[in-house]
Structure 1
Amino acid sequence: MSDNLFDVVEPDFEESDVVELLDENGVPTLFNVIANLELDGQEYAILSNVNDEDEVLIFRVSEEGDEFVFETIEDEDELNSVVDAYNELLDEMDEE
């Protein structure tokens, strides 16, 4: 397994609002894709646990061949930038 926290079981998340991720022990968990956004040319996915909406995960998304890979964001500045961009998106949606 890579350094990522989760492996994507359902890689075509663009066509589905729910993905199943496996943790480091192989335990599957369902997550809703609540947002996909692009920031500085990099794509990110924001996911919430289907059974616990308070559990939200943010991943950098990359493609390897024809599969999507969710990468853990370890850089705090990068993570904060994604959170800020998502909050701006929410603010724009509230204004509409």
Structure 2
Amino acid sequence: MAYGIRVRDAAGNITLDTSYRAGRIIGMLQSGTNPGSINVPGFSQGEGFAIAVPFQGSGVFCPVATVSGNVLSWDWVGSTYLQYRSNSLIVYGVR
């Protein structure tokens, strides 16, 4: 039998189950339109994750964010056209 807490909404749907792993956001940054990387010491507290969200709408390329150790990197994979690179918000954290 699993142990933990389950929180349900009025319809009986599970909205939180502590037997699952929940993430914690460490920070956010703007990517600009060039590849880059930063050191994030907080990644040592768990398994790092990152997601990039474009500021512009359709027809643009969003960077691919990757985590390796304590380093967060971003690049536009397969996009050599600078005019189509979107400045994006990169949200990163640990789970």
User: TM-score when scaled to structure 2?
Assistant: 0.28
More helix by share: 1
Bigger radius of gyration, 1 or 2? 2
Scaled by the length of structure 1, the TM-score of the pair is 0.28
